[in-house]
Amino acid sequence: MKRKLGCLGVVLFVALVCCAGPLTMSMSASSGSGGTAANAAAAAADIPARMLTAYIAAAENVRSYRPRCRGMQWQVLAGIAKVESGHAAGRTVSSDGDVRPRILGPRLDGSGAGGNTTPVPDTDRGRWDGDPDGERAVGPFQFLPSTFRTVGKDGNDDRATDPHNVDDAALSAAVYLCGSGRGRDLTQRRQLETAIGSYNHSAAYVADVMGWISRYKTTGTAASIKGVTGKARTVLATALSQRGMPYSWGGGSVNGPSYGICCSPGGSSGERIRGFDCSGLTSYAYARAGITLPRTAAAQAGVGRRIPASAGVKALQPGDLVFYGYVPTSDGTIHHVGIYLGNGKMINALRPGTKVQVDPVSVMSDYAGGARPW
């Protein structure tokens, strides 16, 4: 029988790239990838991984400060940050969460610049806004210094509270939105809109934020990495932040999505598609956690602790690599790799024509075990 080529990592193109799904993949698994699920997944693709990590952590940790608050989700914080700063667009976010250069709003002097019509006197002597003579909104969540002084929290346990640190700012925003006293029930639309309105007294602002929350909620990521810590959390948050990114044969690297090459065994070219193939996605996600992987799926199987297929999916932990091979016991035949998310699911750049998405591990039939690179 002629061997099917599902990956450039097999046979003659091994040095270049991988991967595509086997030709025997079920149609039911592939048909949904280009429809509603893929469109919904695209909603979160604009959130940088480090920002998403901060939003998720803040939504989980706000209970320590507002135990009676209900319904805080990362999507609420993402909606606020999207409107306030475009998720710190154009800035660099360090591994510690520091946003540089700082994000500063216009001086609130009532001049009308930036939409401000009411003068606000200086309250921080330039500590956070660099302006000792006036007041400016600061950081990715655009706090007024006076407000941040009241609700500011240390979100990254560095014993400092800084509105220009995304961990601190996200947790502080969660505390603020939850309200004081008994706390709000953000599962109720009216209370959620009230919370957002307290952040900015504008009906248009509330509608804008609610629209982004709705888009982000379609991704269902909130519980996906709950309880996952360390490098595995970084890997998963990075991969999840790329959902909706197109599959590109040969696309992706440690630097993120890129244009691919020509051509897959089925004749699909990635030359005009900016995105990831399977091992491009894993290379990028692990690089953000400080781990360098080889570029092909077959080579990635040799990194860290190998988990044989015979151990079953239950032997996998969130953040592990998941492999597929024509001969599951032979690493040389591995043609595909994903990242295990938990509960039998993985983050996956499946094949040409799809997008980065969450799939069941069973989406492909030739499971070849996993690997734990740390």
Residue 101's nearest CA partner among 91, 110, 109 is 91
Q: What is the pTM of this model?
A: 0.54
pLDDT in tens, 303-349: 999 999 999 999 999 999 999 999 988 999 999 999 999 999 999 99
Average pLDDT, the chain: 85
- At residue 180, the pLDDT reads 87
Query: 124 is in which domain, residue-wise?
Result: 109-135
Q: Answer yes or no: is 204 within a domain.
A: yes
pLDDT in tens, 209-260: 999 998 887 654 444 687 899 999 999 988 988 887 899 999 999 999 999 9
CA distances from 358 to 155, 182, 247, 345, 347 (A): 28, 37, 13, 7, 5
Quick one: average pLDDT of 14-35?
A: 35
| 235 within domain boundaries | no
Rounded CA gap, 58 and 152, in Å?
Answer: 12
What CATH number is given to the structural domain containing 363? 3.90.1720.10
Q: Average the pLDDT over 297-305 and give the result.
A: 96
In a domain, 223, yes or no: no
Nearest CA to 205 out of 71, 55, 74, 80 is that of: 80
Q: What is the phi-psi region of residue 157: left when phi exceeds 0, alpha when psi lies from -120 to 50, beta otherwise?
A: left
| 143, 56: one domain | yes
User: Do 62 and 23 share a structural domain?
Assistant: no
In this structure, what CATH number is given to the domain that contains residue 168?
Answer: 1.10.530
Question: What domain count does the chain have?
Answer: 3
162-182: pLDDT as tens digits: 999 999 999 999 999 999 877
133-164 pLDDT per residue, tens: 889 999 999 999 999 999 999 999 999 999 99
What is the token pair recorded at 40?
A: 């919904």
Task: Please say which residue of 84, 117, 135 terminates a domain.
Answer: 135
Examine the pLDDT at 289 and tell me if it is beyond 80: yes
- Say whether both 186 and 262 belong to one domain: no
